[in-house]
Structure 1
Amino acid sequence: RCEKKIRAAKRATRSELSVSGGEWQKHGYAYDPKVLSADGLGDDIERISAKDVSVEEFIERFERPCRPCVITDAMDGWAANTEWTYDKLRAKFGRHKFKVGSDDDGYAVRLKFNHIHHYVNDPAHMRDDSPLYIFDGSFGDKEGSQPLLKDYDVPKYFKEDLFRHVGEKRRPPYRWVVIGPPRSGSSVHVDPLATSAWNALVSGHKRWALYPPSAGLTKPDLKPKGIGLDGESVTWFQRMYPKTRGKEWTEVRGFPKPMDCVQMPGEIMYVPDGWWHAVLNLDHTVAVTQNVVTTARFPKAWRMTKRGRPKMSAQWLKKLRTARPDLAAVADAQPRRAEESAGEKTSSSSSSSSSEESSDTEPDTDPA
């Protein structure tokens, strides 16, 4: 029965691949040690300690200039550090269904954690090129998984969450529990509505590649047709990432090389709005991630939300007039049709993993 459920989930999330025909393993990535190797990767992202850097300093050094960083010493004391192991999660949440992807109509595909536990411990399934993994944006809203919220704290730099003024039911998905085996991950994307993201890694290692918004990159630049990209992170890292380090990319087209980083357990990655980024899990990983809008990054988020979600933006502005009149004034002062940079797109969809993340019926959005 467990195997039947797993195969059904595979068929639903990747209908173009034959499960029985072995197409989930057609690239043979599981047999290629280079796929998960971090040898020769740069360590290009600045690391800071939450013990040494104040909120005010963080805003000036990273938020305002739109600079990514890796934060250490910000997860001390989290219950998640000891409670979020596969075995403990299975004991507590074995019967709860977590989202592992979306079907062709955009509806959530879910599996019980018991079945996911079986999947990641089955050597045959772990030969999948891009395995199923949990990317659940509703865990905090469902009774069966809500206790996970008590196991971590929002880091001090991200306590301000301006979308909260919209209300929990109206705001877009913004927090995800992310549990994935090697070779799962998020293909290259920009987070929607000019949100920034923080990603806290409880266990395992994540490989990141980031591209700055100043480069003016677009989806066709980073996800061109005709080179066999299938929406999976592992395929993107194998086929497209090397091109972004080559002469054609840097010298002929004038684009920057990626900023590389391997995130370690206990570290939090901060990705400011507008940065293209891709993530590959190098081993079994457990993480929690949230998208956020803060005062320092509000103007662009307001422009993007007004264009992309006009009804929601009207509700947001109404609430800000009471809660944050200073920001309401900023919103009012912006032209009706602000001049947008090349990087300001309203699209909130591109691939985010083996499981493209969304609410149950919304268009797919892309967490980090």
Structure 2
Amino acid sequence: MNSLSLTEPVLLGGASLSWSAQRRWSWDFFAAMRNEHLELSDAAGNPSLEVRVSHYVQALQKGGNWRMSRLYAAGWRFFEQRPDMLRDFPEPITISQDRLQGIPERIFKPLLWVFIGAEGSGTALHHDVLNTHAWLTVIEGKKRLALHPPTPCDDDYDAQRKSARHVLATRRNRGAWRYLEVAKGDLLFIPATWWHEVVNEGPTIGLTRNFASPDIVGSVAARAREQGHLALLPWLEREMA
């Protein structure tokens, strides 16, 4: 991505199709993970169950465990158990463009995750952690999103979520709401503080990272201070100097 000033969603069709992850991270690849574990969340995003990756993927594929298959692997830090997987994709945003990647892992865990879920699973209306940007790509399946420019939704969250769900149901833009589909191999950039709700179409595997380009470091630092992540401030404020 050439510009670091991300103010609108950017969808790059087929941009990750050449990544090794697109060839290697098949359903069989994850179904063979018998030693790795991930945490599953319920529809409200609450942690619900920790399971082996193989058991969860097999439940999605075969439908034998109905309860497990209805839960969502929403944010698995895969690299903690499988660092080899980091070699399967290039970073769309370089380390020099992402001020978070310079923070030691002992202080701040990278905001890099795999999401795995069944048809209809997804993430309720939100904007991303610490007012960061995000990129995401789909490895298997399809993700559908309703996105809204930055606005104080907190006081009217239920009404805003109703609008987001309407956009997803109709698959059309509505007012300021944008509707986007991210298919296998597409790469989507979501600007900081843009609201978005995500639903998976079919069993889906996605990869995403949150990042802080130089132009938003001040906002990220302010959010970190508000939320009590004080250990991050020396690193972020150094980037602001």
Classify the TM-score, shorter chain: 0.7 to 0.9
Runs of 4 or more, structure 1, over 3 Å off, are 106-109, 122-126, 156-159
Give the Cα separation in 2 of the matches to 1:78 and 1:307: 37
Give the structure 2 partner of residue 117 of structure 1: 57
Match of 1:205 in 2: 142
Structure label with greater radius of gyration: 1
* 2:227 counterpart of 1:286: no
Q: Which amino acid aligns with 1:175?
A: L
Q: What is the identity percentage for the equivalent residue pairs of Structure 1 and Structure 2? A: 22
Aligned to 1:259: 178
How big is the shift at 1:138? Answer: 2.6
**CA deviation map 1:7-65 (0-9, x unaligned):** xxxxxxxxxxxxxxxxxxxxxxxxxxxxxxxxxxxxxxxxxxxxxxx61xx335xx1xx
1:241 corresponding residue in structure 2? 165
Matches within 5 A, 1:18-37: none
Change in 2 beyond 3 A, CA 1:309/1:84:
same
Shift of residue 244 of structure 1?
10
Bigger fraction of residues in strand = 2
Match of 1:45 in 2: none
Residue 87 of structure 2 aligns with which residue?
150
Partners in 1 of 2:186 and 2:118 — Cα distance? 18
The structural deviation recorded for 1:219 is 2.7
Number of residues of Structure 1 aligned to a counterpart in Structure 2: 235
Counterparts of 1:268 and 1:159 in 2: how far apart (Å)? 20
Could you report, residue by residue, the CA deviation over 1:286-342 in whole angstroms, capped at 9, with x for unpaired residues?
Answer: 111000001122222222223223522433247x2xxx4xx22xxxxxxxxxxxxxx
Q: Which residue of 1 aligns with 2:34?
A: 94
Map of 2:12 onto structure 1: 71
Does 2:7 match 1:59?
A: no
Q: Distance in 1 between matches of 2:168 and 2:34?
A: 41
Deviations, residues 131-156 of structure 1 (Å, cap 9, x unaligned)? 213224432223xx222212112114
Q: Return the alpha-carbon distance in structure 2 between the equivalents of residues 310 and 166 of structure 1.
A: 13
Find out whether 1:174 has 2:119 as its counterpart: no
Distance 1:157 1:278, change over 3 A: farther
Q: Aligned pair in 2 of structure 1 residues 244, 219: CA closer, same or farther (>3 Å)?
A: farther
Among 300, 315, 326, the alignment partner of 2:234 is: 315
Q: What TM-score do you get using the length of structure 1 for normalisation? A: 0.56
Question: Do the aligned partners of residues 107 and 81 (structure 1) sit closer, same or farther apart at CA in structure 2, a change above 3 Å counting?
Answer: closer
Gaps of 5+ in 1: 1-53, 225-235, 251-255, 329-368
Deviation per residue, 1:157-177 (Å, 9 max, x gap): 676221233311212550111
TM-score for both structures, normalised by structure 2: 0.83
| Alpha-carbon separation, structure 2, partners of 1:268 and 1:140 | 20
* 1:170-224 superposed Cα distances (whole Å, 9 cap, x missing partner): 12550111111111110101112111110111121111000101xx232342335
Instruction: Give per-residue Cα distances to partners, 1:103-148, cap 9 Å, x unaligned.
Output: x9x767321122112311334656x7x8213224432223xx2222
Partner residue of 2:188? 269
The amino acid across from 1:297 in the alignment is I
Seen in structure 2, the aligned counterparts of structure 1 residues 108 and 79 have a Cα distance that, compared at 3 Å, is farther
